[in-house]
Structure 1
Amino acid sequence: MHKDIATPLRTQEILKKYGFSFKKSLGQNFLIDPNILRNIVSYADLTKESAAIEVGPGIGALTEHLARDAGKVVSFEIDQRLLPVLEDTLSPYDNIKIVHSDVLKADVANIIKEELSDFEDIMVVANLPYYVTTPILLKLLMENLPIRGMVVMMQKEVADRISAVPGTKAYGSLSIAVQYYMKAEVVMTVPKTVFMPQPNVDSAVLRLTRHAEPPVEVIDESFLFEVTRSSFAQRRKTILNNLQSQLPNGKAKKEQILIALTEANIDPTRRGETLSIVEFGLLADALYPYFKK
């Protein structure tokens, strides 16, 4: 068993050896607590038959824990300066592939085909950079990748928004976009003290598990998300007002919006945050003929 990368002392040694300085613009906060890393990995339920995809390995703290449990790890790192560091820290492991790329621009489906074709079970496990958590998550969800789910660390506030239920303040279009694809639960909160440098906010680990079937069948997924985004545009407004002001030519189509709301059995004076995903699905399908045909 190799000495863990993620201890404060070892982390400092590695940073010093490479003269590495943190780039704020890349949201670099490295974990320095092996117990927390072990817990994160345990939530992913990996075996040697599984593969893991990681985003932003840093100096390899989480990567090595994944490599110990999974059959193979593919990790996306955008920061060129970390490539030689990773080559060094992860040298004891032969089941890791580092891809030097911005995951937002990468063809992830193709990389899975090339690198992970032998694996039926694939999980995304990552300590996501805070400033791009949402775009990364949405990209990985919407590209319909062959993954079982994700175990991802992020700012606690974002994790709370993603896992929120209708009728709560945190519930919004992000909750719906993610929960349409996956069941979302916050499995642990992580204090800022276990990071170097310490972020200003607490973090949480979110476990996402793919639904066997989406919670609602819709005609057009992207239109569903357009309707949900429109419904939350101004939280104090009613669903009718938001749809009128946000959907293309909505003001002129007030009658049609009212017909669709009636058809979906939704009171026009309700607010977006009171609607469930199923209700949004019915509403999107009722609005579809008036806005998409």
Structure 2
Amino acid sequence: MTAPQTLLKAWNMKPKKDMGQNFLTDPSTPIMILERAGIHDGCGQTIIEVGPGLGAMTIPAAQRADHVHAVELDREIIPLLETEIHVAGLRNITIHSGSILKVDLEPMLAEGRNTLVIGNLPYNISSQILIRLLSFRHRITRGVFMLQTEMAERIVAPPGGRDYGRLSVIMQYCGAIHLLATVKAHLFYPRPKVDSAIIEVLFPEKPSLQAKNEKILFDVVRAAFGQRRKTLRNSLSSGLRELNTKEAETLLLNADIDPIRRAETLSVAEFVRLADLFYDSIQ
């Protein structure tokens, strides 16, 4: 693995701050991530990589998987990436130019549930990327993502704390989440201000929790956390046009939830129960 500074200088390029570009400098880190994620030689999986950059993760992933679809937003960096892939002698990588938020993922998904998504997600749009990928989770076995530590802590946070929020509930509803490793800031170029964390999200074929209507569930979660300092009775009546304060209180009592509790105190299972009752009430 050639040092990012050397590669970029040779191509007369600089990291783009607006794209959140921070490149791994330690060749052992991508290997560690792949091993902890269970991506081994001959794993037989199709991998979709978000933001391959200079190929630090792309190349070792392709050496283990059947095929890697690398989605890269920065058009200027793609020729450099193609050269690195050519030098590595790999033919099982397809580069897709565009944003992961807009590119058509359907042609990249393997038959059945044999697709894995990996990526070092830029902080400013990481939650948007995760939400979009969740809509494909029935075709994806799992995701392995590098995030700023703050974002990872929000995703894995249990109920009751300040970190627990809308993203925590949605992610934990959709999959089982595990913290795989931390990656220190000095292992990137340019060096970010904070460390990163690697999380794995397993998407079960048969989820233990299944809402009657997921759109309604996500609407309820959004409304509950929309004004998180308010009681659930008030936040739900403010955020859901179908409910006034009295109706919100009745709904919460029927779900065996105290109306004066706040959103961050509810478990994922309680949100599902509440959303199911709300769905029934508006049919």
Q: TM-score, normalised by structure 1?
A: 0.90
Aligned partners of 1:106 and 1:146: how far apart in 2? 16
Q: Which residue of 1 aligns with 2:93?
A: 96
Q: 1:69 aligns to what SS in structure 2? A: coil
Pair 1:279 & 2:267 matched: no
Residue 257 of structure 1: CA displacement? 1.5
Percent identical among aligned pairs is 38
- Give secondary structure in 1 for the equivalent of 2:57: helix
Q: 1:46-85 alignment to 2 at 5 Å?
A: 46-47=39-40, 48=42, 49-85=44-80
Structure 2 residue aligned with 1:149: 142
Q: What is the alpha-carbon distance in structure 2 between the residues aligned to residue 228 and residue 120 of structure 1?
A: 28
CA distance in 1, matches of 2:148, 2:71: 20
Contact 2:141 2:204 in 1 (8 A): no
From 198, 203, 206, give the equivalent of 1:205. Answer: 198
Unmatched segments (≥5 aa) in structure 2: none
User: Which deviates more from structure 2 when the two are superposed, residues 207-216 or residues 103-112?
Assistant: 207-216
Deviation at 1:63, TM superposition (A): 0.5
Q: Secondary structure, in 3 states, of the residue corresponding to 2:198?
A: strand
Answer whether contact 1:215 1:278 (CA < 8 A) is retained: no
Matching of residue 185 in structure 1 with residue 182 in structure 2: no
Does residue 31 (structure 1) correspond to residue 28 (structure 2)? The answer is no
Corresponding position of 1:230? 223
Residue among 140, 165, 172 paired with 2:165 = 172
Q: Is contact 2:166-2:222 (8 Å) kept?
A: yes
- The CA deviation string for residues 116-157 of structure 1, in whole angstroms up to 9 with x for no partner, is 44x852211111122211111110112345111011101111
Q: Is the 8 A contact 1:73 1:97 kept in 2?
A: yes
Distance 1:36-1:233 versus aligned 2 partners, 3 A rule: same
The aligned amino acid for 2:124 is Y
Match of 2:35 in 1: 42
Mapped partners of 1:211, 1:180: distance in 2 = 11
Q: Is the 8 A contact 1:44 1:123 kept in 2?
A: no
Root mean square deviation of aligned Cα: 1.6
Alignment of 1:264 with 2:261, yes or no, is: no
Does the 8 Å CA contact 1:74/1:97 hold for their aligned counterparts?
yes
How many Å separate the matches in 2 of 1:217 and 1:96?
A: 35
Name the stretch that deviates more: 205-214 or 68-77: 205-214
Asked if the contact 1:149–1:208 (Cα under 8 Å) also holds between the matched residues in 2, the reply is: yes
TM-score (normalised: structure 2): 0.93
Cα deviation digits, residues 80-113 of structure 1 (max 9, x gap): 111110111111211111111211111112332x
